[in-house]
């Protein structure tokens, strides 16, 4: 009799959660009184980033899955639900808000793909022009007016200098995606920031690039574009920058809007290396940030932009000169192998300023200080 009673009690304990789990239209239900929810992917928290929206027919959250599967947990202010999430698979449940409105929520898992480029070429097809910072009165003014030397004073190496500078620019203003400066140069942008203006990702890239060039670290702005850049009506591009670190002899990505530098195995990464690391080595990938940028949120946001990469042929600083071009094109775009060469930006804006390449070496040659940009002699 005691054995039967013990067995019955054990079965009640095991099935109690299932009995307690509410359901609606055949799906699990969790409750909430606050519209803001958190979620956890593996061990990484994403807090305050999700709004419960009963007015949306299916409120969809796409979640990156960096391995074959990951534990996903969704937390409201009073309830939670967890399950194993796989790439290409979805889970649906309802959130009952204030015991009144049901929000159908769908969690979709997706994976990352490492893009392929031509890595066999060893001779660049083009040479690019970089700032020599030799008697450049524009950079001298920028350096003195904003005391840039003090920002990097005592830095142990070029990596630390770059991290300090991108953090300084990041803290000059709050991002505003709708504003443009009267002139797209660092001195004008910073002067208008003093007047209370706020600017876009573009301006973070321009100012950080100029400040790095001013302290002797060759830098260039970089445009990122989504795979569907031709058909997306807005938000299809992002601007950041790359800096060449002489002590490491490599290009490194910096994002002034978010104050980040990607690093793998203690080596800072360029934009293409960053894309590859997200796809292949996410667990070891580090996002360095003096302001504490969140790895999971930044990677999820920036990854779709890491498809097309373009930089200018002429990366000199100043306002009183005409930039050099090649065949009347001002920029070089790196395109993945087999991908379309985009001709339009956001449906209606012609991309008529780029030459195209699939070759990594074209984009990642070390800076060569030349008097003008040319097509390399073969």
Res 265: pLDDT: 97
Say what angle helices 201-214 and 158-170 make with each other, to 10 degrees: 140
Question: For tokens 């058909």, what's the residue?
Answer: 231
The model's pLDDT over 291-342, given as tens digits with 9 standing for 90+, comes to 999 998 999 999 999 999 999 999 999 988 899 999 999 999 999 999 999 9
Tell me the average pLDDT across 233-237.
95
More confident residue, 47 or 272: 272
Res 371: pLDDT: 47
The model's pLDDT over 30-47, given as tens digits with 9 standing for 90+, comes to 999 999 999 999 888 888
Say yes or no to pLDDT of 369 above 80: no
| Of 201, 189, 260, residue with least CA distance to 225 | 201
pLDDT confidence band for 4 (50 / 70 / 90): low
Whether 97 contacts 35, CB under 8 Å:
yes
Say yes or no to pLDDT of 18 above 50: no
Percentage of the chain lying above the pLDDT 90 cut: 84
Residues β-bridged to residue 90: 108
Distances (CA, A) of 12 to 15, 18, 70, 81, 306: 5, 10, 29, 21, 52
| Of 80, 128, 38, 60, residue with least CA distance to 329 | 128
Say what angle helices 186-194 and 137-145 make with each other, to 10 degrees: 30
| Of 378, 377, 327, residue with least CA distance to 356 | 327
Res 139: pLDDT: 97
**DSSP H/E element including 378:** none
| Alpha carbons 144 and 137: distance in angstroms, whole number | 10
What's phi and psi for 119, nearest 5 deg? -110, 10
Say yes or no to pLDDT of 11 above 80: no
Say yes or no to pLDDT of 280 above 90: yes
Distances (CA, A) of 128 to 155, 162, 248: 29, 21, 20
| Alpha carbons 345 and 118: distance in angstroms, whole number | 24
CB atoms within 10 A of CB 171: 12
- Mean model confidence pLDDT for the chain: 92
Question: For tokens 């959130």, what's the residue?
Answer: 95
Question: For tokens 């990607």, what's the residue?
Answer: 262
Whether 331 contacts 312, CB under 8 Å:
yes
**DSSP H/E element including 36:** strand 36-41
Say yes or no to pLDDT of 25 above 90: yes
Res 35: pLDDT: 96
Question: Do the strands 27-32 and 90-97 form a parallel or antiparallel pair, or are they unpaired?
Answer: parallel
| Alpha carbons 133 and 124: distance in angstroms, whole number | 24
pLDDT confidence band for 16 (50 / 70 / 90): very low
Which residues have a Cβ under 8 Å from the Cβ of 16 and sit 6 or more positions away?
Answer: none
Tell me the average pLDDT across 201-218.
98
DSSP sequence for 137-201: HHHHHHHHHTTHHHHHTT-SSHHHHHHHHHHHHHTTS---TT---SSSSHHHHHHHHHTT----H
The model's pLDDT over 43-82, given as tens digits with 9 standing for 90+, comes to 888 888 899 999 999 999 999 888 788 999 999 999 999 9
pLDDT confidence band for 13 (50 / 70 / 90): very low
Domain chopping of the chain, boundaries: 19-110, 129-363
Res 1: pLDDT: 52
Tell me the average pLDDT across 156-164.
98
Res 43: pLDDT: 87
DSSP sequence for 111-127: -------B----S-SB-
Question: For domain 129-363, which CATH number applies: 1.20.1300, 2.60.40, 2.170.270, 3.10.620?
Answer: 3.10.620
């Amino acid at each position: 009799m005691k054995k039967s009673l013990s067995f019955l009690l054990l079965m009640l304990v095991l099935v109690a959660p299932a009995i307690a789990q509410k359901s609606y239209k055949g799906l699990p239900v969790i409750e909430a009184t606050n519209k803001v929810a958190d979620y956890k992917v593996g061990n990484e928290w994403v807090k305050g980033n999700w709004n419960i929206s009963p007015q949306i027919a299916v409120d969809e959250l796409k979640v990156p899955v960096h391995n074959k599967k990951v534990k996903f947990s969704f937390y409201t202010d009073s309830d939670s639900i967890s399950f194993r999430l796989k790439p290409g698979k979805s889970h649906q449940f309802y959130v009952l808000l204030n015991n009144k409105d049901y929000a159908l929520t769908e969690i979709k898992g997706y994976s990352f793909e490492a893009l392929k480029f031509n890595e066999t070429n060893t001779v660049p097809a083009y040479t690019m022009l970089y700032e020599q910072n030799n008697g450049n009165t524009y950079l001298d003014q920028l350096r003195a007016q904003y005391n840039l030397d003090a920002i990097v004073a005592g830095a142990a190496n070029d990596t630390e200098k770059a991290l300090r500078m991108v953090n300084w620019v990041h803290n000059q203003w709050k991002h505003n995606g709708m504003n443009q400066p009267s002139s797209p140069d660092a001195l004008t942008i910073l002067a208008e920031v003093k007047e209370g203006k706020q600017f876009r990702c573009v301006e973070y890239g321009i100012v950080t690039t100029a400040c790095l060039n001013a302290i002797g670290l060759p830098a260039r702005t970089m445009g990122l574009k989504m795979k569907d850049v031709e058909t997306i009506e807005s938000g299809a591009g992002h601007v950041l920058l790359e800096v060449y670190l002489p002590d490491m002899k490599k290009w490194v990505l910096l994002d002034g809007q978010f104050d980040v530098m990607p690093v793998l195995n203690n080596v800072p990464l360029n934009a293409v290396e960053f894309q590859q690391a997200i796809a292949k080595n996410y667990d070891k990938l580090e996002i360095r940030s003096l302001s504490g940028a969140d790895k999971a949120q930044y990677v999820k946001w920036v990854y779709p932009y890491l498809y097309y990469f373009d930089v200018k042929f002429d990366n000199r600083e100043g306002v009183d000169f005409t930039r050099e071009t090649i065949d009347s094109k001002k920029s070089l775009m790196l395109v993945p192998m087999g991908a379309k060469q985009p001709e339009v930006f956001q449906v209606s804006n012609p991309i008529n300023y780029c030459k195209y390449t699939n070759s990594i070496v074209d984009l990642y040659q070390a800076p060569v200080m030349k008097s003008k940009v040319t097509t390399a002699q073969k």
